[in-house]
Structure 1
C-alpha cells in the first residue's frame, strides 16, 4: 500500500514559486508598459519542460549566477498561469475569458507542456464550440501556424468538419490565400468536402498564384518557367484533386489553360476519358466526393450558428422580451431554428426572398468582412416576396443591433423610433439586388453582382430621416460580408419563468 499526498505536495511547490531566496532564473515577459519579470528555479523548469531545458543550456549565467530568459510575446497574465501550473500542477480557468484560455493553450504548446495544451484543447472543443466558430478564421490559421503537424488534432478535426459542410467559410474569406499549405491539404483530403470539384480546382489555382506574386497577371504571357513555378508550389495539392469527376466543359475551359502543371500522362488520360469513357487510364482515379444535404451532427442543445454564441442568443432574447436584465444561459426563453445560411444556400439577394418568404419572427445575423463586427436585425413580421413595388412595413417590435465580439467591447441595440418604416420589402425588380432592409437603409444587405460577399454594397446608413433610435456602426462605409444567417425565433419548452 502507498499513501499519496499530492495536494500537500502541490501546495508546498506553489509556495516555492514565491520564495525569492534561492532562485537562479529570471524570466522577462511581455513588453512596453506590461513588461514584467518572474523569478524561478532552473531545476524545476528543466524537469517540467523540455523547452526550458534547451533554453537554459544556451544561456550564460551573470555574475550572480542567474540566467535570464526573455519572452516578449507572452503576456504576463498568461505566464503567471503557466508558472502556477509548473510549480503546483493546477490551472484554474473558471473565471477566465475564452480568448485567454485559447491563448494559454497556444503558449502551453509553444513551451512544450503537452499535457496542459491538450487538456485546454479538449475543453475548448467540448465546451466552447460556439466561440470557436465565431473566431473561425483566426484560430484555424493559428493551429496550422506551427511546423508540428501532429499538434491540435482535436481542433483541426473540429474545424475541418465545419469546412467540409460549409467550405465558403474558408475559401471565400479575405485571408484564404494566406492559408498555410498544411491547412489547405487537410481540407483537400476531405472526401465529404461539400463543393464542386471544379470550384476546388479554381481555389487551389488561386492559392498557388497568390504564393508567387511575380507571376504575370495575364495567363497568355506565362512562360514555361512560370508554369513550372506554379507546379512546384502546388505539388502537394494537385494529387488531391478529383480530376476524373470534372465535367467535359470544365476540363476544356478551366483545366486546359493549366495543362502544363498537370503532367503529360494525366492530361492524356483526361483527354482519353472524354473520347473513350469506358477504357481504363493509367493515372490514379480518386473517388468522387460525398455530397450530402444533411446538416452536421450536433451535440444536445448546441447552437447551430457559425456566427453567434449562446451569450448572443441570450442577449437577443432579452431584447425581444424588452427585459432590462440579460437572461442567464441556462434559462433562455427562445431557440434559433435555422432558415438560411449564406455559405450553404448562397449569397444571392433573391435567395433570401425565396427561402425566407412566409417566415415570421426572424432574426438576420451578418458577419462583416475584414472586421469583428456582427450586425443584425429582428423582424416580428412575415417576410413577403410577392410585392410588386417596394413597400414600407409597420411594426413597433423590430430592432437592429451590433453584437459584442472580438475588439467590439459592447453590443448596441437600436429600437424602432418610427414604426411606419420599420422594414422595407422590395418589389420583384429589386429583389435581385437587395435582401433584408431595416428602416431607411439603416441595416441593408445589398449586392449589384448578386453576391453579398463580393462587392462592398451592404450598408448601415445614417440618413436625413431615420426610423431607428441610433446607428449600429461607428462608420458609414459600405461593406461586404463573410457569411449571414436567418433564424426563426421559436419558444424554448424548457424555459422556466423566474420571479
Structure 2
C-alpha cells in the first residue's frame, strides 16, 4: 500500500466523524433565519484546521451551553460553509463543476476562516483551469482579490491581465465599478502602457460616478466622450469639489501629472481645486523648466515593456506561439517569452503588394491573419523557420522544413489561452513541401494550400486546405482576410528560463 493510499484512507476515516456526529461539541449556526442551517462539528478538528477557529473557539466569541459550544456565522452561505467544513474533515474540495461565483465565495470563505493552503489551492486552480472566466469577469474578480491581503496571487494575475492584454478596460463601463482598492492597485503600476491623460480621464469619470452628489450629472451629460469632462463642472459648488476630492484622495497622488503633455492641460485646469497645490506647482514647473536634475524624483512614464506592436496579436498569444516554436507542453507567460516578435509588415498600412519587399530573406517569420466576417473572431497563421524566409526567384520550388507549423486561435482578449487553439505541424511524408515561395503572391504553407494568402486587395481571399499539415486548423477551406501581419522572430539573448508559465489545457496540441 502506497503512502498516497494510506493518506486517502485516513482522510476517509476522519471524514466519517462529520457524517456520524460522534462526540460533536460545537454547533455552528450559518446564514440568516429563516434560511440558516446548523452544523455539528468537533472543536479539536476545527481548531487544528483553521486559524480562525483556533482563536474563536478559545475566546469569548463562542458561548457554551453545558458541554456544547454554540457559534454563529450569519455572513456565510450554508452551502459554502458545508463545502469548507467537509474539506476541513477530509481534505477534499471539488471545484470542477462549480461556477465562478461559487468558487469566489469559497475563496472568500477560506480567507475569512484563515485556511491558508485552501486559499492557495483555489487561486491556483482559477488561474490554471478557469482563466477564461477570470478574463471575462476581470473587474469582479479584481475587486474581491484586491480587498483581501491573502489573495495577492489572484490580484496580481488580474492586474497582469489588464496591463498586458486589456488596458482599454480603463475606458469601459465596467471600469466604473472598480473598488477603490483595485483602482489604487492599478494606478500604482509602472507598466500600464497608456497615455497618462487617458488614465486621468478615466479616474475622473470613476471619481464622479462614485461620488453620490455628482454621479447623476455625469450620466446625464457626458455619455461616452471624455472630452465633456472639461465643461462638466461649471455649475458645481465648492461642496461638490470637496466631495470629489474626498473620493479621489488616494488616487490623485498616483496620477503622473508631469507626463500629461502641456497641450492637454485643459483637462486638468477645470479640476485644479481637487489637486494639492504643491502637486500643481510641481507639474507646471516641470513643463516650464523641463526634465532638469531638480526633478529626478519624478516618476517615469508608464511603459509596458512586453507589449507587442500588433493590431491583431496580444503579448500572451505571442507567448503561446513561442511555446509552439520550442515544442513546450506548457505555455510561456509574456514575461518568460524567450522570443521577440518584431513587426515587419501590416497589410492595411503597407499595402499587400509590399509583402515580398519587406519580408523576403529576413530569417524566421510568423504570419498572423484576421479572418473577415467571422463570428468566432478567428486568427489563422503560420511559422516559417527558414533563415531565407520568403525568397523571390521566379518559379521557386517548394522548400522543406520540419520546424514549421500553421495554427488558428481566438482573437478575443477574453479567451487568450489555448483552449480554442488548433495547431498543425507538417506531416513527415510532406516535409519537403512545407514552404512555397510565390514571387507574385503571398505566403504559402504546403501544397493544399494548407495556408495561403492572396496579396491582391481587390480579392482578399485565403485558403486553409488540409494536406501537408495535420490536422485541419479551420472548419472552412476558404476565407476572406480583413488584415494580416508578418513578424520577424528573434531569440532574446538575455532570456533566462524560469517557471513563470501558464498551464496548458490541451496537451494534444503538441502531439
**TM norm. shorter chain > 0.5:** yes
* Shorter-chain TM-score tier: 0.5 to 0.7
- Counterpart position of 1:429: none
- Counterpart position of 1:73: 76
1:244 correspondence with 2:244? no
1:59 correspondence with 2:65? no
1:44 correspondence with 2:41? no
CA contact (8 A) 1:28 1:68 kept: yes
Match of 2:285 among 262, 266, 272: 272
User: In 1, Cα distance between the equivalents of 2:233 and 2:100?
Assistant: 46
- Counterpart position of 2:355: none
Alignment of 1:88-103 (within 5 A): 88-93=90-95, 100-103=102-105
Which one has a larger percent helix, Structure 1 or Structure 2? 2
Residues 425-458 of structure 1 deviation map (CA, whole Å, 9 limit, x = unaligned): xxxxxxxxxxxxxxxxxxxxxxxxxxxxxxxxxx
- Counterpart position of 1:10: 11
Alignment of 1:332-371 (within 5 A): 336-337=408-409, 358=460
Question: What TM-score do the two structures reach when normalised by structure 1?
Answer: 0.56
- Counterpart position of 2:480: 382
Change in Cα spacing, 1:21 to 1:337, as seen in structure 2 (3 Å) is: closer
SS where residue 76 of structure 2 aligns?
coil
Change in Cα spacing, 1:94 to 1:288, as seen in structure 2 (3 Å) is: closer
User: Deviation of residue 254 (structure 1)?
Assistant: 0.5
SS where residue 90 of structure 1 aligns?
coil
- Counterpart position of 1:296: 315
Change in Cα spacing, 1:280 to 1:495, as seen in structure 2 (3 Å) is: closer
SS where residue 221 of structure 1 aligns?
coil
SS where residue 289 of structure 1 aligns?
coil
User: Deviation of residue 259 (structure 1)?
Assistant: 1.8
Match of 1:286 among 299, 310, 326: 299
User: Deviation of residue 84 (structure 1)?
Assistant: 2.2
Change in Cα spacing, 1:17 to 1:341, as seen in structure 2 (3 Å) is: closer
- Counterpart position of 1:186: 185
- Counterpart position of 2:84: 82
- Aligned residue pairs, count: 333
Change in Cα spacing, 1:223 to 1:135, as seen in structure 2 (3 Å) is: closer
- Counterpart position of 1:210: 209
- Counterpart position of 1:219: 233
User: Deviation of residue 197 (structure 1)?
Assistant: 0.6
CA contact (8 A) 2:165 2:413 kept: no
Change in Cα spacing, 1:89 to 1:141, as seen in structure 2 (3 Å) is: same
- Counterpart position of 2:25: 24
- Counterpart position of 1:126: 128
CA contact (8 A) 2:141 2:158 kept: no
Q: What root-mean-square deviation, in Å, do the aligned CA atoms of Structure 1 and Structure 2 show?
A: 4.3
Change in Cα spacing, 1:226 to 1:361, as seen in structure 2 (3 Å) is: farther
User: In 1, Cα distance between the equivalents of 2:476 and 2:25?
Assistant: 60
User: In 1, Cα distance between the equivalents of 2:116 and 2:414?
Assistant: 38
Change in Cα spacing, 1:220 to 1:104, as seen in structure 2 (3 Å) is: same
Change in Cα spacing, 1:335 to 1:55, as seen in structure 2 (3 Å) is: farther
SS where residue 11 of structure 1 aligns?
helix
User: In 2, Cα distance between the equivalents of 1:75 and 1:267?
Assistant: 53
SS where residue 299 of structure 2 aligns?
coil
Change in Cα spacing, 1:266 to 1:97, as seen in structure 2 (3 Å) is: closer
User: In 2, Cα distance between the equivalents of 1:90 and 1:124?
Assistant: 17
User: In 1, Cα distance between the equivalents of 2:30 and 2:461?
Assistant: 54
User: Deviation of residue 153 (structure 1)?
Assistant: 1.2
Residues 444-498 of structure 1 deviation map (CA, whole Å, 9 limit, x = unaligned): xxxxxxxxxxxxxxxxxxxxxxxxxxxxxxxxxxxxxxxxxxxxxxxx99599xx
User: In 1, Cα distance between the equivalents of 2:208 and 2:94?
Assistant: 46
User: In 2, Cα distance between the equivalents of 1:199 and 1:14?
Assistant: 55
CA contact (8 A) 1:269 1:281 kept: no
User: In 1, Cα distance between the equivalents of 2:104 and 2:184?
Assistant: 24
- Counterpart position of 2:143: 141
Change in Cα spacing, 1:7 to 1:234, as seen in structure 2 (3 Å) is: same
Question: What TM-score do the two structures reach when normalised by structure 2?
Answer: 0.55
